[in-house]
Amino acid sequence: MYPSSFEYYAPETLEEAFGILERFDGEAKVLAGGQSLIPVLKLRAFAAPAALVDINRIPDLDTLTVTRDGGLRIGALVRHKTCERSDLLHGKFATLGHWIHRALIALKGGIGNFGWAIIVLTFFVQVLLSPLTVTSFKHSQKMKALQPQMKKLQ
């Protein structure tokens, strides 16, 4: 089956891409590598976007960098091979990268597609971290309730 028709955009800046996505209000899909989106588009029941936003022309989305606070930023266009060969991931983030890589390879072996493997891994990580998420949400609600009292004290 062939995908339904859609508009195609190839923005050259993040601002332009965000503008297009906002204009389509959730009815557009981002195209980065295409290996997982294209097969899904062929199954119209799963994805029939009004527009595709190809971000491959946007600079600096293909880099791995350490943020100021010591975190890791993986750009949307970073390829699996780039992560695999990165000195950055073999250094500071080696253990985490190793286990994520092993999990993705195992899931890809069972599923046959890295896109779906990433989705499944993300789901499992979200389930494992859900107690922290719930606790964080409860604490933020308590802080929100204290906000008026804190303003009075100022």
Above 70 in pLDDT, residue 1?
no
Above 90 in pLDDT, residue 73?
no
Residues spanned by the domain of 19: 1-59
Reported confidence tier of residue 36, pLDDT bands at 50, 70, 90: low
Q: How far is 106 from 117, CA to CA, in rounded Å?
A: 9
Distances (CA, A) of 60 to 57, 76, 77, 146: 9, 9, 9, 41
Q: Among residues of the chain, what percentage have pLDDT more than 90?
A: 18
List the single range of 36-40, 77-81, 120-124, 134-138 with lowest mean pLDDT. 36-40
Spatial neighbors of 103 by CB under 8 A, at least 6 apart, are: 121
**What's the mean pLDDT in 39-64?**
79
Q: In the prediction, which pLDDT does 153 show?
A: 78
* Residue 90 vs residue 68, higher pLDDT: 68
> Residue 102 falls within a domain, yes or no?
yes
Reported confidence tier of residue 11, pLDDT bands at 50, 70, 90: very high
Answer yes or no: are the C-beta atoms of 117 and 111 closer than 8 Å: yes
* Residue 55 vs residue 148, higher pLDDT: 55
User: Do 6 and 54 have their domain in common?
Assistant: yes
Above 70 in pLDDT, residue 67?
yes
Quick check: helix, strand or coil at residue 87?
helix
> Which residue stretches of 5-113 are H helix?
14-24, 37-42, 80-85, 87-90, 94-111
User: Do 55 and 85 have their domain in common?
Assistant: no
User: Do 51 and 85 have their domain in common?
Assistant: no
The pTM of the whole model exceeds 0.85: no
What CATH number should be reported for the domain holding residue 23? 3.30.43.10
* Residue 128 vs residue 84, higher pLDDT: 128
Reported confidence tier of residue 21, pLDDT bands at 50, 70, 90: very high
User: Do 88 and 125 have their domain in common?
Assistant: yes
